[in-house]
């Protein structure tokens, strides 16, 4: 019987055949730590005897959640991590580059076939580039920092066959929200999702990142798009790896296969307070919103802002809505700027902020008061996620967010 992509990646790293269900130790090709979970990982590594990290070139450090430091304790964490980076010879992107799950692929720190771990649950995002990447806890990260390997249970794979063409103003975020609603928040626990079909082969890399990013919202360890020419094109100039083929064998054993015709997918909304509480936008259209956030590692790339700008057209945003836009990285910010979209959005009434996680998890700014409603292009809508435990977060695509920011209520982007 053949092997899945996931089984092939682990087999290559362990230099023996690995099958779903095997518990193995595997070396990692990258380990990402950020300002929230990095300090604990470093302190536990020191408790384990400290010493040198396994390979400073494979440790990725950056600050993105509480930046610039929004408290004395955050500033102290940053200082502690900067000191560790200097002592260990680790390159620290500091507060300058943006959100971890945009910076890691953007800087060529992951490539197809890699195993990359990060002390952040959305590390599965790099599956968009054909890697097995997954979030781990800070104490596991301490072990990885010291030894460069970690134990894994090789996950079974759920294959998603998505074919067809999206309707206008419907796209990758609506597809991944559809999957979250169908599979459920724990429906893929400890499985790997594999994204196949021409909906993915036609999809650009940012769209694939949106989908892979949210694999964890179904409990999945990974969300992998088999590498193709688009993958290698994206990596050209970012890494020195030469293209190779990596795909599941046709006779590989899948835990489950699900088929989707994306032309039938309508704009979707995840309704508070669960990501798998997904409905067609028409079911909640007309609901007033107080704040619209376009950004995060899920939908903070130039392509996401271009989608929003296309819907905005010559309109302005509603006077009753606070529109907060945060590109996911410096590089993405510059693309949005050079395309004249910062000016367009500011003229329309938006507040455009420097790259960071921002309102996504109620961090440094953009917090909601009790009773307030946010429509967000991020990936989580748990109670209290963006502020008061009495506030409400709805999740959507950039297109739906832009349409709703114009009207002041949740709006089907196909109707503006
Ligand atoms: C702060 C970090 C631990 C957390 C995560 O792991 O996902 C955050 O990035 C989030 O999105 O909730
Ligand atoms: S943008 Fe949001 S989801 Fe992404 S890493 Fe930051 S807090 Fe987590």
Q: Are 53 and 144 in contact (CB under 8 A)?
A: no
Return the ligand number nearest the Cα of 101: 2
Q: Are 128 and 105 in contact (CB under 8 A)?
A: yes
Bond into 91 cis (ω within 30): no
Instruction: Please identify, by atom number, the ligand 1 atom nearest to the C-alpha of residue 119.
Output: 6
Residue having the nearest C-alpha atom to atom 2 of ligand 2: 360
Return the ligand number nearest the Cα of 385: 1
In this structure, what token pair is assigned to residue 374? 């946010």
CB burial string 242-276: b at 16+ within 10 A, e below: eeeebebeeebebeeeeebebeebbbbbbbbbbbb
Return the ligand number nearest the Cα of 329: 2
In this structure, what token pair is assigned to residue 268? 């979707």
Task: For residue 76, report the phi and psi dihedrals to the nearest 5 degrees.
Answer: -65, -40
| 357 marked among binding-site residues | yes
| 196 marked among binding-site residues | no
Q: What is the pLDDT of residue 363?
A: 77
Ligand 1 centre to CA of 362 (Å) is: 11
What does the alpha-carbon distance between residue 116 and residue 95 come to, in Å, rounded to a whole number?
21
Q: Are 177 and 278 in contact (CB under 8 A)?
A: yes
Ligand 1 centre to CA of 405 (Å) is: 26
Residue having the nearest C-alpha atom to atom 3 of ligand 1: 120
In this structure, what token pair is assigned to residue 323? 């529109």
Q: If the chain, 416 residues long, is cut into consecutive pieces of 10 residues, what is the mean pLDDT of each piece?
A: 97 98 98 98 96 98 96 97 98 98 98 98 98 98 98 98 98 98 98 98 98 98 98 96 95 98 98 98 98 98 98 98 98 98 98 97 91 98 98 98 98 97
Q: What is the pLDDT of residue 347?
A: 98
Pocket around ligand 2 at a 6 A CB cut-off: 65, 99-101, 120, 122, 296-297, 357, 360-361, 378-379
Instruction: Please identify, by atom number, the ligand 2 atom nearest to the C-alpha of residue 380.
Output: 3
Q: What are 350's strand-pairing partners?
A: 323
**Crossing angle between the packed helical segments 341-348 and 330-338, to the nearest 10 degrees:** 80
Ligand 2 centre to CA of 98 (Å) is: 11
Q: What is the pLDDT of residue 364?
A: 77
Ligand 2 centre to CA of 18 (Å) is: 32
What does the alpha-carbon distance between residue 275 and residue 261 come to, in Å, rounded to a whole number?
22
Bond into 194 cis (ω within 30): no
Residue having the nearest C-alpha atom to atom 4 of ligand 1: 120
Q: What are 150's strand-pairing partners?
A: 26
Q: What is the pLDDT of residue 303?
A: 98
Q: What is the pLDDT of residue 130?
A: 98
What does the alpha-carbon distance between residue 42 and residue 48 come to, in Å, rounded to a whole number?
10
How many residues are given for the chain?
416
In the DSSP assignment, the letter for residue 197 is: S
What does the alpha-carbon distance between residue 41 and residue 46 come to, in Å, rounded to a whole number?
9
Residue having the nearest C-alpha atom to atom 12 of ligand 1: 361
Enter the pTM of the model.
Answer: 0.98
| 18 marked among binding-site residues | no
Residue having the nearest C-alpha atom to atom 4 of ligand 2: 297
Return the ligand number nearest the Cα of 138: 1
In this structure, what token pair is assigned to residue 413? 């982007």
DSSP string, 250-263: TTB--SEEEEEEGG
Q: How far is CA 271 from the centre of its chain?
A: 19
- In 3D space, the residue among 198, 208, 191, 177 whose CA is nearest the CA of residue 304 turns out to be 208
Instruction: Please identify, by atom number, the ligand 1 atom nearest to the C-alpha of residue 36.
Output: 1
Ligand 2 centre to CA of 297 (Å) is: 6
In the DSSP assignment, the letter for residue 381 is: -
In this structure, what token pair is assigned to residue 102? 């945009």
What does the alpha-carbon distance between residue 393 and residue 5 come to, in Å, rounded to a whole number?
35
Angle at alpha carbon of residue 379, lines to 376 and 383, rounded to 5°: 75
What does the alpha-carbon distance between residue 128 and residue 226 come to, in Å, rounded to a whole number?
8
Ligand 1 centre to CA of 367 (Å) is: 16
First-to-last C-alpha distance (Å) of the chain: 51
Q: Are 132 and 126 in contact (CB under 8 A)?
A: no
Q: What are 269's strand-pairing partners?
A: 279
Instruction: Please identify, by atom number, the ligand 2 atom nearest to the C-alpha of residue 295.
Output: 1
Testing ligand 2's pocket by substitution, the residue of 37, 65, 119, 325 carrying the most ligand atoms inside 8 A of its CB is: 65
Task: For CA atoms 182, 231, 192, 144, give the dihedral sign.
Answer: negative
Cα dist. 415→192, 294, 308, 310 in Å?
36, 19, 14, 13
Instruction: Please identify, by atom number, the ligand 1 atom nearest to the C-alpha of residue 378.
Output: 11
Instruction: Please identify, by atom number, the ligand 1 atom nearest to the C-alpha of residue 122.
Output: 7
């Amino acid at each position: 019987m053949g092997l899945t992509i996931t089984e092939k990646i682990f087999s290559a790293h362990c230099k023996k055949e690995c099958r779903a269900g095997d518990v193995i130790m595997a070396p990692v090709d990258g380990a990402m730590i950020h300002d929230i979970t990095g300090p604990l990982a470093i302190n536990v590594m020191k408790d384990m005897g400290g010493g040198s990290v396994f390979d400073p070139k494979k440790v990725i450090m950056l600050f993105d959640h509480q930046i610039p430091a929004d408290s004395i304790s955050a500033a102290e964490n940053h200082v502690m991590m900067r000191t560790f980076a200097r002592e260990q010879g680790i390159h620290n992107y500091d507060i300058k580059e943006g959100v971890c799950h945009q910076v890691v692929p953007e800087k060529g720190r992951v490539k197809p076939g890699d195993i990359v771990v990060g002390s952040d649950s959305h590390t599965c995002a790099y599956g968009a580039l054909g890697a097995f990447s997954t979030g781990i806890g800070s104490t596991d990260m301490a072990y990885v920092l010291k030894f460069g390997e970690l134990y894994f249970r090789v996950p079974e794979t759920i294959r998603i066959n998505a074919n067809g063409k999206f309707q206008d103003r419907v796209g990758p975020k609506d597809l991944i929200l559809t999957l979250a609603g169908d599979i459920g928040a724990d429906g893929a626990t400890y499985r790997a999702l594999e994204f196949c079909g021409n909906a993915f082969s036609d999809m650009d890399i940012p769209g694939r990142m949106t989908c892979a990013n949210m694999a964890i919202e179904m409990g999945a360890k990974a969300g992998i798009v088999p590498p193709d020419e688009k993958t290698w094109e994206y990596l050209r100039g970012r890494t020195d790896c030469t293209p190779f083929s990596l795909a599941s064998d046709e006779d590989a054993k899948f835990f489950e296969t699900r088929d989707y015709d994306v032309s039938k997918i309508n704009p979707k909304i995840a309704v508070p307070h669960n990501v798998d509480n997904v409905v067609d936008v028409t079911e909640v259209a007309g609901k007033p919103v107080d704040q619209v956030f376009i950004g995060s590692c899920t939908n903070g790339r130039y392509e996401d802002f271009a989608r929003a700008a296309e819907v905005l057209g010559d309109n302005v945003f509603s006077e009753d809505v606070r529109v907060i836009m945060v590109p996911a990285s410096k590089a993405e910010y510059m693309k949005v700027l050079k395309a004249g979209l910062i000016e367009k959005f500011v003229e329309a009434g938006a507040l455009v902020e420097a790259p960071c996680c921002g309102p996504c998890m109620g961090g440094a700014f953009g917090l909601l008061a009790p009773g307030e409603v946010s429509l967000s292009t991020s990936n989580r809508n748990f109670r209290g996620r963006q502020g008061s435990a009495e506030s409400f977060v709805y999740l959507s695509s950039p297109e739906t967010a832009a349409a709703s920011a114009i009207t002041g209520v949740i709006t089907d982007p196909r109707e503006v």
